[in-house]
């Protein structure tokens, strides 16, 4: 299939979406195409007053609007329509996201073609959020529970996969009956604004889905807003900690999907071709800009050199270039600050004693924010490059001897988002998977997600879970209802 899409030269101008209206602002922000380094779209630079209006619109839609009065079955119909509309427009949405963050068009297209499945899945779950009948210890009471929507959600999304990572929040939240105020990254706001138009087309009432755009000060105004019932955030761990602290002031519920330093553990009995492919996909896919990136490759010492050469040989062939071109395998990083950060980490690793096997510099002659896919050997787990999340195409390779050392090194991190085990020994595969402290563990695979499987982290990789049945519970509260069966007065000063 031909995936090449041309770049139109017309500058796109977008508005915020608040309460069903398009809201303009005198202050504007530019969205740069990371491949060309040129402005391709502009969006409003919102203010705290815009956040106030958006939260008020979401509150009215929840408390007084038709969304709050809809049955779960009616909400499910809206979600299915939204899924159909996204499927219809997947190519345009993917193209916008590619222009915003520089990721491969074919990857973005694959994501947007998969996103409807999330809405179909949660549409099927919307009318199955049933409570329980509680066996009562008091014969004069009938007790049951209800699962009710948590209320107004403030969602803050990152720049690496804004559409997919918003969907992780939006699909279960809408199914539960919540309303949203979304603040996308200032680097990648366009696909979220495009999605807002399609949410309205799906018949979801005004005020249910609001989008405000701006920099970090706007995000701070949102997370500090007392009108929110929940904050759902995906992004850096340090930012997540600040959000949790701000939310605590208002006792706002939070779910945080944060950073990772995920270990890819390869034992000597693994299929090395598959392991090499998995290591490359885990760190150079999406230019390393995924929270689940397999940035630490742990290799049993007896096969270390052989696997390293296989990975290096394939890495030398990676085609960098225009992310809209079908032959491109790795595009630029998403923005100038990230480009500078990745290059700085390479220098830190070099000074700490890591050996550069491949890459180690900016990719010249391509324009935009390109970094060569970089492989570092002789890395030890106490180096900064092995401790801190980089969010770029840098693979740190370490040796281990035996299963116990592999598990010790893998778990020796403040993060716990993802991990992988490569082995042909089925007993070892499950044994090691059980001992790895990570929210997702792949066996002989890497970088796979599903709408049906919970995703989230241990330790400093976050709080709560996205996707699966666990996720919809994050957007509900449990209410207990006691029904008195005997219409007789009882002692008003005695509990029960």
pLDDT in the model for residue 11: 93
Nearest to 397 by CA among 204, 263, 244: 263
**Helix-, strand-, coil-residue percentages of the chain, each rounded to 5:** 40, 20, 40
DSSP letter at 133? E
6 confidence band (pLDDT: 50, 70, 90):
low
Nearest to 294 by CA among 457, 442, 98, 412: 442
Catalytic status, residue 178: no
* CA pair distance 496, 481, nearest whole angstrom: 14
422 confidence band (pLDDT: 50, 70, 90):
very high
From the list 257, 460, 466, 474, the catalytic residue is 257
Q: What is the pLDDT of residues 246-302, one digit of tens each?
A: 999 999 999 999 999 999 999 999 999 999 999 999 999 999 999 999 999 999 999
Equal CATH topology for 12-258+457-480 and 263-443: no
Provide the percentage of residues in the chain whose pLDDT is more than 70. Answer: 98
Res. 102: pLDDT tops 90:
yes
pLDDT in the model for residue 9: 65
Nearest to 184 by CA among 173, 195, 175, 174: 195
pLDDT in the model for residue 162: 97
* CA pair distance 157, 188, nearest whole angstrom: 9
Helices (H) and strands (E) in the chain, counts: 16, 21
| Residue 154 structure tokens | 């403030």
Range 207-232 burial, b when 16+ CB lie within 10 A, else e: bbbbbbbbeeebbbbbbbbebbbbbb
Nearest to 266 by CA among 450, 409, 434: 409
Q: What is the pLDDT of residues 158-210, one digit of tens each?
A: 999 999 999 999 999 999 999 999 999 999 999 999 999 999 999 999 999 99
The hierarchical CATH code for the domain 263-443 is 3.40.309.10
φ, ψ of residue 440 to 5 degrees: the values are: -135, 130
For the packed helices 90-101 and 190-201, what is the interaxial angle rounded to 10 degrees?
160
432 confidence band (pLDDT: 50, 70, 90):
very high
| Residue 134 structure tokens | 């509680």
Half-sphere exposure in the Cβ direction for 409 (13 Å, CA): 26
From the list 291, 300, 460, 466, the catalytic residue is 291
In the chain, where are the structural domains located?
12-258+457-480, 263-443
* CA pair distance 394, 295, nearest whole angstrom: 7
The hierarchical CATH code for the domain 12-258+457-480 is 3.40.605.10
pLDDT in the model for residue 8: 64
Catalytic status, residue 424: no
pLDDT in the model for residue 7: 58
* CA pair distance 43, 132, nearest whole angstrom: 47
pLDDT in the model for residue 10: 78
Provide the percentage of residues in the chain whose pLDDT is more than 90. Answer: 95
* CA pair distance 323, 314, nearest whole angstrom: 19
Beta carbons of 29 and 213 less than 8 angstroms apart: yes
């Amino acid at each position: 299939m031909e995936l090449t899409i041309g770049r139109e030269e017309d500058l796109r101008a977008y508005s915020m979406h608040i309460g069903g209206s398009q809201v303009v602002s005198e202050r504007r922000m530019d969205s740069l195409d990371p491949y060309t380094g040129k402005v391709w779209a502009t969006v409003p630079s919102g203010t705290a007053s815009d956040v106030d209006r958006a939260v008020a619109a979401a509150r009215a839609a929840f408390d007084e609007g038709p969304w709050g009065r809809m049955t779960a079955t009616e909400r499910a119909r809206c979600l299915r329509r939204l899924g159909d509309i996204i499927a219809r427009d997947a190519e345009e949405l993917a193209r916008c996201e590619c222009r915003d963050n520089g990721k491969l068009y074919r990857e973005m297209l694959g994501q947007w073609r998969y996103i409807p499945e999330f809405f179909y899945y949660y549409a099927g779950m919307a009318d199955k959020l049933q409570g329980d009948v509680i066996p009562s210890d008091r014969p004069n009471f009938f007790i049951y529970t209800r699962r009710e929507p948590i209320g107004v959600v403030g969602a803050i999304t990152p720049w690496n996969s804004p559409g997919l990572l918003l969907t992780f929040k939006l699909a279960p939240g809408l199914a539960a009956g919540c309303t949203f105020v979304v603040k996308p990254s200032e680097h990648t706001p366009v696909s979220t604004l495009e999605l807002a138009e399609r949410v309205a087309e799906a018949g979801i009432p005004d005020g249910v889905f609001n989008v405000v755009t701006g920099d970090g000060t706007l995000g701070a105004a949102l997370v500090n807003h007392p009108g929110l019932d929940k904050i759902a955030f995906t992004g850096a761990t340090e930012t997540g900690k600040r959000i949790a602290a701000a939310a605590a002031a208002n006792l706002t519920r939070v779910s945080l999907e944060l950073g990772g330093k995920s270990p890819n553990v390869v034992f000597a009995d693994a299929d090395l071709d598959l392991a090499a492919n998995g290591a490359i996909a885990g760190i150079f896919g999406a230019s390393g800009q995924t929270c689940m990136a397999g940035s630490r490759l742990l290799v049993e010492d007896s096969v270390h050199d052989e696997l390293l050469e296989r990975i290096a040989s394939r890495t030398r062939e990676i085609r960098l270039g225009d992310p809209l071109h079908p032959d491109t395998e790795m595009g630029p990083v998403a923005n100038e600050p990230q480009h500078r950060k990745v290059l700085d980490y390479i220098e830190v690793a070099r000074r700490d004693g890591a050996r550069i096997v491949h890459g180690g510099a900016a990719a010249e002659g391509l324009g935009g924010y390109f970094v060569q896919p970089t492989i570092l050997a002789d890395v030890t787990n106490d180096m900064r490059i092995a401790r801190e999340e980089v969010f770029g195409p840098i693979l740190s390779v370490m040796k281990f001897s035996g299963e116990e050392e592999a598990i010790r090194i893998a778990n020796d991190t403040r993060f716990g988002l993802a991990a992988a085990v490569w082995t042909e020994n089925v007993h070892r595969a499950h044994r090691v998977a059980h001992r790895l402290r990570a929210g997702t563990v792949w066996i002989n695979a890497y970088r796979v997600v599903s709408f049906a499987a919970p995703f989230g982290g241990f330790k400093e990789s976050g709080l709560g879970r996205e996707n699966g049945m666990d996720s919809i519970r994050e957007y509900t509260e449990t209410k207990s209802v006691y029904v008195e069966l005997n219409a007789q007065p009882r002692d008003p000063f005695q509990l029960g």
